[in-house]
Amino acid sequence: MLSSMKLKALVIAGAVLTVTACESTNPYTGESQTSKSTTGALIGAAAGAAIGVASSSKSDRGKGALIGAASGATLGGGIGYYMDSQAKKLEQELRATGISVTQSGNNIILNMPNSLTFDVDQTELSNTAKRALFNVAKVVNEYDETNINILGYTDSSGSDAYNLRLSEVRANQVDKFLVSNKVKSTRINSVGKGEANPIASNSTAAGRAQNRRVEIILSPMAK
């Protein structure tokens, strides 16, 4: 009975995934990527099936798994679809700015190179950055069920304390600009990371330039 129930749950999950699955091309990398609604549906189906079994009587566990898998896939796919839609809107708004939009699970990562946001050792946002962030604010105000984490980073030049402080101020500048454009402050968390998490080597000028950046990470709010 248990193996039959599991099989039925997987069939339902597979059917839902067939409907929700799609692929898109990342305009910055040219790579094909599977829609996050597919990933969300898969996770939701598995969790829903388990809950359905646990909450059903022994004789109805097969039916409970089927119902749980279907409802879980719908919920999980809904979150993924919501984040997919937000990412596509951001790609459209930021296509010509040099800010990359990537997805990791149900998170959306906006990478803002320092060359577009701040001059060397400066903490005032450039006009280019303001125009881009105005578009970011417009999208996140439309998709208001996401949390916004702003992370400031520097290269390894200078002292640790100086770089940490500089990264904090820069992250806060982005925070303030979004709030000034009607993004609720309760959704935002800004943090300076200093020299942490380099994405390139600090031994070259080109690598240091990549490490000087602000990342905005959007994630779905917990329900």
pLDDT at 82: 95
* Higher pLDDT among residues 44 and 80, named by residue: 80
Residue 139: pLDDT band (50, 70, 90) is very high
DSSP bridge partners of 111 = 100, 215
Domain boundaries, the chain: 2-92, 96-220
pLDDT higher than threshold 70 for residue 123 = yes
Arithmetic mean of pLDDT, 68-78 = 51
Arithmetic mean of pLDDT, 165-184 = 97
pLDDT at 77: 61
**Domain 96-220 in CATH: superfamily?**
OmpA-like domain (3.30.1330.60)
Calpha distance 62→64 (Å, rounded) = 5
Flag the least confident range among 45-49, 157-161, 202-206: 45-49
Residue 118: pLDDT band (50, 70, 90) is confident
Taking a C-beta distance cutoff of 8 angstroms, is the pair 9, 69 a contact? yes
Residue 103 tokens, joined: 């997805």
